[in-house]
Structure 1
Amino acid sequence: MSPILSARSVSKVYSTTSLVGKSAPKAALRDVSLDIAAGESIALLGRSGSGKSTLGRLLLGFERPDAGSVAFEGSDLRGLSGEAYRTYRRSVQIVFQDSIGATNPRHTVGRIIAEPLRHLTTLDADARERRVRSLLMQVGLAPDDARKLPTQMSGGQLQRVCIARAIAPAPKLLVLDEAVSNLDLVLQMQMIALLRELQSTLKMAVLFITHDLRLVRLFCSRVIVLAEGRIQEDAAVGRGLELRSAEGRLLQAAILPARPVHRSLEPA
Structure 2
Amino acid sequence: MGSVGNTKGRRERLRAETTAEIKKVALELMASGGPDAITLRAIAREMGMTANAIYGYFATRDDLVTTLISDVYTALADVVDAAWAAAPAPDPAARIQAWAHAFRDWALTHPEGFRLVYGDPVPGYRPPEGGAAPEAAHRVCTGITALAAAAWPYAGPRYADSDFQWSDFDPGLLDKVRPAFPDLPPAAVALALRIWSHLHGLVSLEVYGHLRSQTLSPAKLFREELAQLIRSLGITPARDRPVT
TM-score strictly above 0.5: no
Structure exhibiting the larger radius of gyration computed from Cα positions: 2
Q: 1 or 2, which has the higher helix percentage? A: 2
| Structure possessing the higher relative contact order (Cα contacts under 8 Å, 6 or more residues apart) | 1
Q: 1 or 2, which has the higher strand percentage? A: 1
Q: What TM-score comes out, normalization by structure 1 length?
A: 0.24
Q: What TM-score comes out, normalization by structure 2 length?
A: 0.25
